[in-house]
Structure 1
């Protein structure tokens, strides 16, 4: 098992002309419009107030603060879960908040749509899939809107072309976020207690719906918070925060209460099941503090991600990683980047991190021969600086526990 120390700004830069990896492509040009910090009409500037300022209330309602909250797919495992989330959000509205709620689809909904599509046509095209898969998030958002109405809230569901998120044309693959125009959001917030948005959806210059890639609901939430000039947003999931290892692999894993943006990006790109790396990069550029919270029970806060945090000591054991060797690693990286997959280099190998895709089949379809080694990526962060190891897949959990035990001792001394 070889190790490789690296600069925490990994992954490896793509060769010139190749797009950066990651579903939201954090290497894409800085989003334009509001996210680029351009000037705005005076009436829009007046509407853009932080969560700690007084915003416009609905007709006949109290003046409210605005907060962006995101709920992942695990929040909506069944009808009762929609009601649980709706009751929590109704309580926040009663406490004086207006909410922009970003949602994902119900667990397994996206993959069920993919299964149905491939059953109809085993070689379904990427554009056809991209027109179908986002509907899982739309259904989740629509169901939450219904639950919010039952809870007594004035809730409105916004379709992609009314969210204000602008993207590049899809072109058969996940689109890149290019900007956010908050004018739609301000208009709808004036008459609603809660706006519900399907995560990961945008529209191109011709108002055609686009998809920002798998797990891009985080990106939507941060982009909306930045566009509304809010100081932070809440990300709810089935764990209350970021741990120093995956608790399912390492029972002794510990919650990290405060983290710096850069460390979370490092962990995400190494395949950790934390936040979308592009979302965290966007939060860093616009000073949006990300608060990680539980999606049920007391909805407690677990981790806060911001400009500074405690030095990160963590182990990331990426069971979804695919380790590849071949004659032309640059070409392999370019193909995977074009498909929106994150990659990094460890020695002479290309590693697709956190991958849900059939990477060998994808490369074969593009005429790129490669060998899958059967190894998995394990990353150890010491004060935020990563070291990579390639370990046999069958030993990943055992090695992760061993590295975590050693790291805990080092962190205690530090």
Structure 2
């Protein structure tokens, strides 16, 4: 059965009416000839952080499986809201969550890895309905417990579904139409990259680029799925970047709150690096006058959990902003303690890469917006903006 797979990120749902806007786009696609559609959804922007704060307010050390089950409810809510918006248009629709998607993972809670897939649940949903909605970033382990695939990993869910349905392409919708040479919200001269290779964008993602999740890109390359990056605008869908086996570009990435792990010795650092390699976590070794250390830019929560499980008391964990220069021959990471200085550095590096470049204007916003739907969720007592 042929189906179009679309993934909508949290930035697609900043306002309640955005569910109707996405539903309208899906209705237009059906009217234009798409036979069946699978829509994979992320949690509303900011929701996962709110849910984590609530959990930690209740219990400072919840079990990893308990935390995964809580975080996954953000995507479940988003799937329910989109299902309501689509059914209002008299379109036959059904939503599925991690328990019913047919995706099985290992039990590495917090960043579980896909081990097996069963297409029958999604195929059955598409037999009965025009649209199937999948809650992203979640699955179940071999014991039937809900697992979370990691922050911003709904991309991975979408690519897995496209693969098991035999689709050669998957459309990823976000607040920008594609991959840029830098974050266009931070670097005014950032250039849109029309075509980029899997390996290039995966490396960018591992060093802070947010438009695509690195494990989704790597899964797409392995299973031959082309990624089409898009954005919904008032004029319709805009295609920005196609991820295939070709294309390269110099870039600079900014990763706020990168974890810097200070170690008592080089041996201790090397042991941690071996542990991270075993779990496919990119680790950057450091050595300066203050001693040995490691910088983790992606999969941070999972990496910190692994460190704590080692029980090594001499380790301390801090936070810095990582600015990374990337091109075909150079990977250079700069660590800054001050975020604003990091932004200035990123702009200077990009200007050296692309002198005089003028990019698309993204307004005066210095950061991506958060959803106004946060009132749908309880907030932790210590969450920003919550009255004490």
TM-score normalised over the length of structure 2:
0.81
Instruction: Give the 3-state SS of the residue equivalent to 1:391 in structure 2.
Output: strand
Q: Does 1:396 align with 2:333?
A: no
Give the Cα separation in 1 of the matches to 2:175 and 2:321: 25
Q: Which residue of 1 aligns with 2:85?
A: 147
Q: Which residue of 2 aligns with 1:344?
A: 284
Report matched runs for 1:119-138 at 5 Å: 119-138=57-76
Give the Cα separation in 2 of the matches to 1:277 and 1:358: 15
Aligned CA distance change for structure 1 residues 234 and 322 (closer, same or farther; 3 Å): same
Q: Which residue of 1 aligns with 2:134?
A: 197
Give the Cα separation in 2 of the matches to 1:330 and 1:139: 42
Aligned CA distance change for structure 1 residues 238 and 197 (closer, same or farther; 3 Å): same
Report matched runs for 1:106-121 at 5 Å: 106-121=44-59
Q: Which residue of 2 aligns with 1:36?
A: none
Give the Cα separation in 2 of the matches to 1:263 and 1:101: 26
RMSD, aligned CA:
2.6
**For residues 357-394 of structure 1, what are the alpha-carbon distances to aligned partners after superposition, in whole Å with 9 as ceiling and x for unaligned?**
49779846733433557653322122x34421323332
In the TM superposition, structure 1's runs of 4+ consecutive aligned residues that sit over 4 Å from their partners are 334-342, 358-365, 371-375
Q: Unpaired runs of 5+ in structure 1?
A: 1-46, 48-54, 56-65
Aligned CA distance change for structure 1 residues 323 and 83 (closer, same or farther; 3 Å): same
Q: Which residue of 1 aligns with 2:385?
A: none
Shift of 1:346: 4.8
Report matched runs for 1:161-176 at 5 Å: 161-170=99-108, 172-176=109-113
Q: Which residue of 1 aligns with 2:315?
A: 370
Give the Cα separation in 1 of the matches to 2:307 and 2:107: 23
Deviates more, 1:291-300 or 1:345-354: 345-354
Shift of 1:339: 8.5
Shift of 1:205: 2.7
Shift of 1:146: 0.6
Q: Does 1:100 align with 2:44?
A: no
Contact 1:109 1:136 in 2 (8 A): yes
Give the Cα separation in 2 of the matches to 1:258 and 1:217: 22
Contact 1:346 1:388 in 2 (8 A): no
Q: Does 1:331 align with 2:271?
A: yes
Contact 1:130 1:174 in 2 (8 A): no
Deviates more, 1:96-105 or 1:312-321: 312-321
Contact 2:192 2:240 in 1 (8 A): yes
Give the Cα separation in 1 of the matches to 2:157 and 2:252: 27
**For residues 234-290 of structure 1, what are the alpha-carbon distances to aligned partners after superposition, in whole Å with 9 as ceiling and x for unaligned?**
000111111101123211111111101010011011122121111101111111110
Contact 1:360 1:370 in 2 (8 A): no
Give the Cα separation in 1 of the matches to 2:280 and 2:233: 32
Aligned CA distance change for structure 1 residues 289 and 361 (closer, same or farther; 3 Å): closer
Q: Which residue of 2 aligns with 1:7?
A: none
Given candidates 380, 387, 390, the residue that maps to 2:325 is: 380
Given candidates 347, 353, 370, the residue that maps to 2:297 is: 353
Q: Unpaired runs of 5+ in structure 2?
A: 358-388
Instruction: Give the 3-state SS of the residue equivalent to 1:242 in structure 2.
Output: coil
Give the Cα separation in 2 of the matches to 1:389 and 1:252: 21
Give the Cα separation in 1 of the matches to 2:57 and 2:19: 30
Contact 2:5 2:40 in 1 (8 A): yes
Contact 1:69 1:102 in 2 (8 A): yes
Contact 2:256 2:320 in 1 (8 A): no
Q: Which residue of 2 aligns with 1:24?
A: none
Shift of 1:75: 1.1
Deviates more, 1:221-230 or 1:347-356: 347-356
Contact 1:234 1:290 in 2 (8 A): yes
Give the Cα separation in 2 of the matches to 1:358 and 1:159: 22
Give the Cα separation in 1 of the matches to 2:187 and 2:352: 13
**For residues 297-323 of structure 1, what are the alpha-carbon distances to aligned partners after superposition, in whole Å with 9 as ceiling and x for unaligned?**
3221111101112x2111112223223
Aligned CA distance change for structure 1 residues 184 and 228 (closer, same or farther; 3 Å): same
Q: When the two structures are aligned, how many residues end up with a matched partner?
A: 345
Give the Cα separation in 2 of the matches to 1:126 and 1:163: 21
Give the Cα separation in 2 of the matches to 1:410 and 1:262: 28
